[in-house]
Structure 1
Amino acid sequence: MNNDDHLINIGEFASKAGITLRTLRYYDNIGLLKPCSYSDTGHRMYNKQDFAKLQKILTLKFIGFSLNDIKNVVKHDVNDKDFRKSLEIQKKIMEEKIHHTHMVIKAIDETLDMLNYKEVMNWDKFVNIMNVLNTDKKLLDQYKNASNLRSRINIHELYSVNKYGWMKWFFEQLNIPKNAKILEVGCGDASLWEKNLNRIPKGWDITLTDFSKGMLEDAKRNLGNNATNFKFKIVDAQDIPFDDCSFDVVIANHMLYHVENREKAFAEIARVLKMGGCFYTSTVGKNHMAEMRELIFKFKSQAMTSKSWDITSSFQLENGFKQIDKWFKNVKLKKYEDSLIVTEPEPLIDYIFSMPGNVKESFNNKKLKQFEKFLQDKIYKEDGIYITKDTGFFEAKK
């Protein structure tokens, strides 16, 4: 056993970490931080990676997350890459929190000065205290949204039958010249580019945009040192702030069904595309993850809903062609062949509760265990849960 695998008992682990045995036992019981092993006599044992996991838990707790929130965030083993990324995210949020704290103190000081000198109260400045405090909640929501996105990506990476992967396959379908200006709207965490960094020609000028500032920050972190090769901008697809005929290619990867007014988005995309430029937009079909919805229905819990899957219905493989054809020519559809065979209940649970409207905190521990057993029994009976993936993209030209 090398030094990396060295195990220590719960007492030594608690002493080194500066927390109580009771806290560690509680974290184990709620599934937040389980020991990596047990001794022959049944005692909890921990290793160095458990320190990394505990550090993340304690940091998020200090920032303001509830333990249930933290459980939704701490879902991946801590390897070197994930650990570094995790620390970078934590550092960024801590810096933001320090900045907001200083702003609150400043607003309070200004209010105290007005009271001390018996000046007329400036209620705008006073209200600013609450606005700043609410910013902290936005940070937490941003972190949780990023975690939810990772949960949805995670299940595909773990259990897809087609191991090549959507991002690599989709990238290969992009018919882009060696020297091209490319715009991605709704880039998310930039997974499309992170998965294909070694295949991006030097002549490409790539601008990544998203409606969410938090997602752009995630995109930069995901790309690491390569982020300097991209441009980043907060952009609403319904109001793209670039000149007419600016780009050779526009990409919208699994995002147009989130856009409230797609007609405006199509008009803006057509406007910024050069004549003859290509537009690539991916989406899902009506049968995508259908078995997942069936699982929710069969479990019959009022705390879960499959309605959030309906968000894609406004722009799917079945109705997307007609919408795109109004604005572009030579519209073609190409589908990606894949499915999921899920052999563990936890990633399924994480995926379901990452969808809008499904709140894991609404489940008590008993109900959550019942759901886990329901899934585990189905997995055992069927040698895994088969889930349909119905995914593809439209290619069109201006």
Structure 2
Amino acid sequence: MNLPGYYSSGQFARMANVSVRTIRFYDKQNILHPSYVTPSGSRFYTDQDFARLQQILLLKYLGFSLEDIREMTINDSDYHFMLNALQLQKRFIQDKIEQMQLVENALNNTVDAIQKEHQIDWSQMLDLIHLTNMEKSFKSQYQNATNISARIRLHRDYSINKQGWFPWVFEQYELDSINNTANCNLKVLEIGCGNGALWMENMDKIPTKIQITLSDISEGMLRDAKRNLPAADNRFQFQAFDCQQIPYPDQSFDLVVANHVLFYCEDIASACKEIVRVLTPGGRFICSTYGINHMKEISDLVQKFDNRIVLSAEKLYEQFGLENGEEILKPYFSQIECKKYIDAIELDRPEPLIEYILSCHGNQNQMLLDHYNEFRGFVEKNMTDGFHITKDAGLFICQK
């Protein structure tokens, strides 16, 4: 049977240099289905299927399980999804290369020690074991980076406020107005820096006389930030730690900033005490969060499709939001001001919205991946006249 633009199972397998058995296995595992099945049961695939197979094979090579892959790939050939996936896979490959270089160095050091000392340096062996056990954390970091990137893109590309979130936040820092001795660099600490987007988007506005410490609890996020910021720029330094235990002396920083971080803290009071401790007298703490109406249309949409779907197991604004943030901060700071960011999202295509929904921390993937085409059609139907999303975000400016 000759179908223009379609490949038989055998042709498709040869193109990908895999066996027909492998192709059938992915079909049974609900990872890669044929685009067309004849009444007699013959399976046919397209170039779009081949692009999806590329993602599957690469993720398998990177060490992900089939269950991981099923949750990380969707049955959509739109370039929007494919480009984002390839960019993140490239980043993960870079992480793997760095890891393997560390493993090689540890092996060389261990071999040298055995040859010279005729005995094993067990501390080096433990370092080697630690390095070879980093695989699981790398996979977790990759998935987190994928989700964060999807959320950033939705806000960056479809928000109506042309200034953008990070430029607006940076403007509130008013770095030139912070009291600081003329002969000393301004010292800034960012808690939960993520991939460094705040500073990337404001590089031309950052003072030359400044020392910025970027911190995150995730080593993977710090690696991304280091890659994204100029390697030769000595204004930046990086350190991984939990903000509930900041490893710096009292009065080390003139400004501490935290973008959408405090609501993740298990003990916000401990974090606030640490922040106050490391601030200089009169220093400022600026932290952003969101309110109860933030992105509510998205939750309403998925609930309309399936009322069992919960995009987030926790209502983070209840932990620390625009409505209760001032009361939480009052015991630690002498002055507190709340500023809101005026913005909304307007969409005219489904892909960015679907990508955002699949990036959430709830149970949506369990409900949607088996019904992806149905869900995509549902989203498209609800976007006939566009789709408006409320943004309810802002920040608190606090003084010690």
TM-score where L is the length of structure 1: 0.75
Aligned twin of 2:354: 349
Contact 2:339 2:396 in 1 (8 A): yes
**Is the deviation greater in 238-247 or in 218-227?**
218-227
Q: 1:84/1:224 Cα in 2 relative to 1: closer, same or farther (>3 Å)?
A: farther
Match of 2:342 in 1: 337
Partner of 2:182: none
1:60 and 1:70 in contact (8 A); partners too: no
Q: Distance in 2 between the 1:103 and 1:363 partners?
A: 44
Displacement after TM superposition at 1:230 (Å): 0.9
* Structure 2 equivalent of residue 62 of structure 1: 61
CA shift at 1:222, angstroms? Answer: 2.2
Query: Per-residue deviation at 1:225?
Result: 3.5
Q: Spell out the pairing of 1:155-304 with structure 2 (5 A cutoff).
A: 155-177=154-176, 179-225=185-231, 228-302=234-308, 304=309
Structural mapping, 1:134-145, within 5 Å: 135-145=134-144
- 1:91 maps to which of 64, 88, 94: 94
Deviation at 1:203, TM superposition (A): 0.6
Aligned to 2:40: none
Aligned length: 351
What letter is aligned with 1:384? G
Residues 282 and 392 of structure 1 are in contact (CA less than 8 Å); yes or no, is this contact kept in structure 2?
yes
Superposed displacement of residue 310, structure 1:
0.5
The letter of the residue matching 1:261 is: D
CA 1:58–1:183 in 2, change beyond 3 Å: closer, same or farther? same
2:375 corresponds, among 360, 371, 385, to 371
Letter in 2 for 1:252: A
Q: Is the 8 A contact 1:182 1:250 kept in 2?
A: yes
**Cα distance in 1, alignment partners of residues 268 and 200 from structure 2:** 27
Amino acid at match of 2:329: I
How far residue 368 of structure 1 moved from its aligned partner, in angstroms, is: 1.8
Residue 142 (structure 1) shift: 1.1
Tell me, which stretches of 5 or more residues in structure 1 are unaligned? 1-7, 35-42, 105-124
Residues of 2 paired with 1:306 and 1:83: CA distance?
Answer: 25
Q: Is the 8 A contact 1:10 1:21 kept in 2?
A: no
Q: How does 1:44-55 map to 2 (within 5 A)?
A: none
Distance 2:229 2:187 in 1: 19
The structure-2 alpha-carbon separation of the partners of 1:263 and 1:371, relative to structure 1 and needing over 3 Å to count, comes to: same
Q: Secondary structure at 2:292's aligned position in 1?
A: coil
Moved more, 228-237 or 174-183: 174-183
Q: CA deviation at 1:335?
A: 0.6
Does structure 2 conserve the Cα–Cα contact (< 8 Å) formed by 1:182 and 1:207? yes
- Closer, same or farther: CA 189–227 of 1 in aligned 2, 3 Å: farther
Q: Which amino acid in structure 1 is aligned with residue 173 of structure 2?
A: L
Q: Distance in 2 between matches of 1:373 and 1:227?
A: 47
Deviation at 1:305, TM superposition (A): 0.8
- CA–CA separation in structure 1 for the residues paired with 2:231 and 2:131: 32
Q: What is the CA-CA distance between 1:102 and the residue it aligns to?
A: 11
How far 1:152 sits from its partner (Å)?
Answer: 1.1
Give the aligned residue type for 2:294.
H
User: Contact conserved, 2:188 with 2:210, CA < 8 A, in 1?
Assistant: yes
Q: Counterparts of 1:306 and 1:44 in 2: how far apart (Å)?
A: 33
What's the C-alpha RMSD, in Å, of the aligned pairs? Answer: 4.0
SS in 2 for 1:340: strand
Counterpart position of 2:122: none
Distance in 2, matches of 1:279 and 1:393, equals 10
Matches of 2:233 and 2:317 in 1, distance apart?
30
Displacement of 1:137 in angstroms is: 2.0
Contact between 1:97 and 1:136, CA under 8 Å: does it hold in 2? no
State which drifts further: 291-300 or 172-181: 172-181
Aligned mates of 2:322, 2:345 — CA distance in 1: 19
Choose between structure 1 and 2: higher helix proportion.
1
What's the secondary structure of 1:275's corresponding residue?
strand
Scaled by the length of structure 2, what TM-score is found? 0.75
Aligned residue in 2 for 1:107? none
1: distance between equivalents of 2:251 and 2:103?
40
Instruction: State how far apart, in whole Å, the 2-side matches of 1:225 and 1:13 are.
Output: 44
Q: Does 1:386 align with 2:385?
A: no
Q: Residues 357 and 307 from structure 1, CA distance in 2 versus in 1: closer, same or farther, beyond 3 angstroms? A: closer
